[in-house]
Amino acid sequence: MRLWRVALLFGLVLEPAQQAPPVFRAGVDLVVVDVVVLDKDGQPVTNLTAADFEVSAGRRPRRIVSSEFIGVTRSRRAVTPESAALPAPSSNRQAASGRSIIFAVDVEEIRAGEGRSAMKAIGEYLDRLGPDDRVGLVSLPYGTPRLELTTNRQIVRDAVGQIAGASNRVWDPRMTPGEAAGVALGDTDALMAHWERTAGLPPSGLTGPLSGACPPPSRRPFEMPATVPEGCKDAAQRAQDVHLRHTRNILDSLRALAEMMAPIEGSKALVLVSEGINNDMQVRDSLRKFSDAAERARVALYALHLDAPLAEAAAGGGNATGTRILDDRLGFDSMAEMSSTARGTAFRVVGSATSALQRIDTELSGYYLITFERSPEDRDRDRLGIGVRVARPGLDVRARKEVVLESSSKGKVVAAGAPADAKGAMGALLKSPASAHEIGIDLDTFVFPVNGSSTDARITIAAEISADGKPVDVGFEVKGTTGRVVADTFDPRAEIRLLPDGRGLYPVSVVVPPGSYVLTLGVIDADGRRGSVTHTIDARAWPTGALRMGSVVFGEISGGAFRPVARVGPGAISLAVRVEVHAAAAEMFENATVRVETLRLGETAMISSQAAQLVSSADPLRRAATSVLELVRLPPDDYVIRVTIEGADGRVLGQQARVLSWLGARLF
């Protein structure tokens, strides 16, 4: 049930693959494999050519057609952690250039309350990512908290801080994975470790096959038995069944995540965090299905094995040292095997995970795509072992263990025309982790107080849609960090408002409680073309007994009315900047002044500063200030627009800022 929960959380249904008869191809097909090559210092080697590689598949040498190094394209912006947290528009007009990393934390295999040091290191690692890198998070096997891939560092950092281990295995009289694996094979040392750990523990209260009973002799210290009693072997097998079921669930959840990441371009990785997985022949089928999905999606798996102290605290008078050694050995070896099938590796983490995360970060900076020819004897769906070598000595080559052949002539079939089930098609579009680009979308959101006393926030969504005048269906979902949808809509034949320069704007507002959210908006036109974009929203709790200042809003003034926009239009010469303020009492507005400042992104020197005036509205407890920036005075660059409200005594009553990407007459 937990597996299906995780799969459904990510919008997937795991269906069994249909078996097709073998297909022999008369022509020449090509096979592409992804390979990482590292030097002795663990740095990616970027200057290899096809002549430097040797590839064998199915134990036969293959002719290499080409090799290409795929490096990570860094954003032109140098963004600090502080400026990265500022609101900025999202767009699907350019393909994502960063990396995609999902952290999967196996809380049931981490000691209760532990793992916080590793979670802290993950939170700190987020600050070192590039501005275009996307990060996701899921706690397994429960599926919450979880976050889909996002560039919002703070929302991920907050969710990571909620995660800690949940395992109480050291106090459980049933056998641990390491104990069970050894006892089932007749290892008397493993049996002694189990007896030492469980000495003095109260009975589990379970009966029958679930009890896992293998009671120690009544006297201590125990004498080494000559053989393992058959009853203890049976108990070990029952314990193994439970542990292997957990491993299958983890592997199937990782498979679902890999399949979800398949449409995403660029470097992709799953990072499994655990104190160990029990992986043996009984889970080979699940491991193979995961590795196949990872190979098709070109997703790498890395593993962070959290090493627990060998000298555990006594559990009811027992000694867990021998058990920790057994569990550690089995757990790390299993995680290393799992990651190696998906072009990754496992790292032991003692204390902080910082150095391991840095190694993973370095390896994800680029990889090779090597293309080789299929042989006439190769059949579609053949599973071939892969071997990749390089001629240069001293290099570490990371490649997948196997590849499943598929015809390279297969292409994606795109249905023309509007979908028969418009609402269902929109739901599928909103659940896809990769943005659709057939229809251009620029999107920004602005957060306002509902009033001077409510804790809720009003979010205004401004989406510019390049629909070319065609009717479109619009849908969106707003999700919290647990994956729960707090607001959504399906708007068939949505009304698109035309701006003075001919651009089409879709504005809508929703009310949500305080929190961090992910918004996904999708568009489908009458020809079946699609567009989608994901955007993060931070709706912090409003202060009590103080002025409540909404977001800095960029917009245009037409006919005396202010309209928010999703981006600065090409060729624009000015930009209206607006803030909305709510108060619990009207006298809080007295003698308040507004200052609008312009700074370059990542710098502290002020370029310009101008005053604005708070203007009354029909609501005596709400006022707004509007200022106009002359864009022609700014050279193309990225800027921060900061608005500050001060009282008569100079005290700051509120401050908000927003990123402005201004590239002159070019589209950003």
Report pLDDT for 317: 52
Report pLDDT for 27: 40
**Is 89 domain-assigned?**
no
- In the numeric block, which tokens belong to residue 461? 């969504």
Which stretch, 135-144, 296-305, 490-499, has highest mean pLDDT? 296-305
Mean pLDDT throughout 620-646?
90
Flag whether pLDDT at 63 surpasses 50: yes
For 13, residues 6+ apart whose C-beta sits below 8 A from its C-beta are: 7
Distance (Å, whole) CA 126 – CA 133: 9
Mean pLDDT throughout 5-29?
40
- Asked whether residue 186 falls in the same domain as residue 324, the answer is no
For residue 576, what is the domain's CATH number?
2.60.40.10
pLDDT band at 12 (very low <50, low <70, confident <90, very high): very low
- Asked whether residue 341 falls in the same domain as residue 204, the answer is no
User: Does residue 384 contact residue 45 with C-beta atoms inside 8 Å?
Assistant: no
Mean pLDDT throughout 412-436?
75
- Asked whether residue 431 falls in the same domain as residue 443, the answer is yes
**Is 335 domain-assigned?**
yes
- In the numeric block, which tokens belong to residue 271? 């990072």
Q: Could you identify the residue written with the tokens 């200042």?
A: 549
pLDDT tens digits, 361-400: 999 988 999 999 888 888 888 889 999 999 899 999 999 9
Flag whether pLDDT at 425 surpasses 50: yes
- Asked whether residue 146 falls in the same domain as residue 264, the answer is yes
For 440, residues 6+ apart whose C-beta sits below 8 A from its C-beta are: 91, 92, 93, 465, 466, 531
- Asked whether residue 131 falls in the same domain as residue 268, the answer is yes
pLDDT band at 1 (very low <50, low <70, confident <90, very high): very low
- Asked whether residue 600 falls in the same domain as residue 470, the answer is no
pLDDT band at 607 (very low <50, low <70, confident <90, very high): very high
**Is 499 domain-assigned?**
yes
Total structural domains in the chain? 5
Containing structural domain, residue 203:
179-240
- What rounded mean pLDDT belongs to the chain? 84
Flag whether pLDDT at 140 surpasses 60: yes
**Is 22 domain-assigned?**
yes
- Asked whether residue 119 falls in the same domain as residue 198, the answer is no
- Asked whether residue 317 falls in the same domain as residue 287, the answer is yes
Flag whether pLDDT at 347 surpasses 60: yes
**Is 91 domain-assigned?**
no
- In the numeric block, which tokens belong to residue 399? 């490649």
Amino acid at 567: R
- Asked whether residue 423 falls in the same domain as residue 522, the answer is yes
Mean pLDDT throughout 537-562?
87
- In the numeric block, which tokens belong to residue 307? 């090493």
pTM of the model as a whole: 0.72
Q: Among the listed ranges 50-64, 401-415, 558-572, which one has the minimum average pLDDT value?
A: 401-415
pLDDT band at 135 (very low <50, low <70, confident <90, very high): very high
Distance (Å, whole) CA 18 – CA 24: 18
Which of 513, 542, 571 delimits the end of a domain? 542
For 632, the 3-state DSSP assignment is helix
Which of 514, 542, 570 delimits the end of a domain? 542
Tell me the torsion sign for CA atoms 360, 366, 370, 371: positive
pLDDT band at 242 (very low <50, low <70, confident <90, very high): very high
Flag whether pLDDT at 529 surpasses 60: yes
**Is 108 domain-assigned?**
yes
Distance (Å, whole) CA 216 – CA 256: 42
Tell me, rounded to whole angstroms, the distance of Cα 441 from its chain centroid: 22
pLDDT band at 4 (very low <50, low <70, confident <90, very high): very low
- Asked whether residue 145 falls in the same domain as residue 266, the answer is yes
- Asked whether residue 147 falls in the same domain as residue 278, the answer is yes
For residue 346, what is the domain's CATH number?
3.40.50.410
Measured CA distances, 235 to 147, 173, 330, 343 (Å): 39, 11, 18, 36
Flag whether pLDDT at 555 surpasses 60: yes
Report pLDDT for 357: 95
**Is 88 domain-assigned?**
no
- In the numeric block, which tokens belong to residue 232? 């203890």
Beta bridge partners of 232: none
- Asked whether residue 137 falls in the same domain as residue 280, the answer is yes
Flag whether pLDDT at 466 surpasses 80: yes
**Is 82 domain-assigned?**
no
Mean pLDDT throughout 408-424?
61
Report pLDDT for 80: 56
Flag whether pLDDT at 495 surpasses 80: yes
Report pLDDT for 315: 44
